[in-house]
Chain A
Amino acid sequence: QVHLVQSGGEMTKPGASVKVSCQTSGYNFMMYDISWVRQAPGQGLEWMGWISPYNGDTKYSQKLQGRVTVTTDTSTSTVYMELRSLRSDDTAVYYCVRSGTYYNLYFDSWGQGTLVTVSS
C-alpha cells in the first residue's frame, strides 16, 4: 500500500526557512514523481513544484521560484521541500503528492499534510 508520511507541523517567524519531509513507501520510488501542493486556511489548492526522483529534474511555480527547492534522498525514498524567506501568507497546510509520468500530472496519493504557521 502506498504511503506518504510527512513531518510534523512547524511554527516559524517571517524571514525564516522551513523544510518539510515526505517519506514514501509501498511502491518503486524511482518510478513516480512527487509534487508539493499547499492550501492556505479555508482556501483552494496551489501547486508549488515537482521533482522526478528518477533523474532529479525539477520544475517550480513561477510565483515561488527562487524561494522553494524540492530535493530527494533516494537512499531513504524521502522527498524534501524547503521554503525560504517565509511570509505570513505562506501559512498553509503543505502536501506532498504522487503522480505518474511527466504527461500525467494528476495526484493519486497524498501525504497527511503539514501545517506551517508563519507568525511573529
Chain B
Amino acid sequence: EIVMTQSPATLSVSPGERATLSCRASQSVSSTLAWYQQRPGQPPRLLIYGTSTRATGIPARFSGIGSGTEFNLTISSLQSEDFAVYFCQQYSSWPPVTFGPGTKVDIK
C-alpha cells in the first residue's frame, strides 16, 4: 500500500498571501496524484488531477506540480473561501486508493 503524507498539518496564512502545501508518497506514483478541498460540513471537492490539471470550474489561483514522490499544491493569493482542509490522493497503484492525512489552511 502506498502511504501518503502531507506537510504541514496546519498552515496559517493571511488573506491575499501565497500558500504552498506539500504531499509525499512512500513510492513513486508517477503523475497520478489528485488534490481535494474540504470545507467544514461539506464533501471534498476535486481541485487538481494528474498532478497539475485543474478540474472543471477551479480558479487559476490553484496550481499543482511534482512527479514521482514529491508534489505541491500552491494557492497564489488566498481568498476567504480557500480556508479549508486539503487532501492529496494517489491513484497509481490500487487497490487501495490512498489519501494523505490533510493540511488545514487557516487564517493567520
Give chain A's interface residues, CB within 8 Å of chain B: 35, 44-47, 49-50, 59-63, 95, 104-108, 110-113
Total A-B residue contacts, Cβ distance less than 8 Å: 59
Query: What's the nearest-Cβ distance from chain A to residue B46, in Å?
Result: 5
Residues from chain A with Cβ under 8 Å of B34 in the complex: 106-107
Residues from chain A with Cβ under 8 Å of B98 in the complex: 47
Q: How far is the CA of A23 from the CA of B52 in the complex (A)?
A: 31
Contact of B91 among A62, A106, A108 (CB under 8 A): A106
Residues from chain B with Cβ under 8 Å of A111 in the complex: 43
Residues from chain A with Cβ under 8 Å of B55 in the complex: 108
Whether, in the assembled complex, B59 has its beta carbon less than 8 Å from a beta carbon of chain A, the answer is: no
Chain B residue nearest in CB terms to A44: B101
B43→A110 contact, CB < 8 A: yes
CB under 8 Å from chain A, chain B span 26-43:
32, 34, 36, 43
Contact of A45 among B46, B49, B87, B91 (CB under 8 A): B87
A113→B91 contact, CB < 8 A: no
Known interface pairs A45-B44, A46-B99, A106-B91; 11 further A-B residue pairs with C-beta atoms within 8 A, sorted by A's residue number? A44-B101, A45-B87, A47-B96, A50-B94, A61-B96, A62-B96, A104-B32, A104-B49, A104-B91, A107-B46, A107-B89
Whether, in the assembled complex, B45 has its beta carbon less than 8 Å from a beta carbon of chain A, the answer is: yes
Q: Considering residues B43, B89, B94, B99, which has the most beta carbons from chain A within 10 angstroms of its beta carbon? A: B43
A108→B96 contact, CB < 8 A: no
Q: Considering residues A49, A62, A105, which has the most beta carbons from chain B within 10 angstroms of its beta carbon? A: A105
Chain B residue nearest in CB terms to A99: B91
Query: What's the nearest-Cβ distance from chain B to residue A103, in Å?
Result: 8
Q: Considering residues B44, B87, B96, which has the most beta carbons from chain A within 10 angstroms of its beta carbon? A: B96
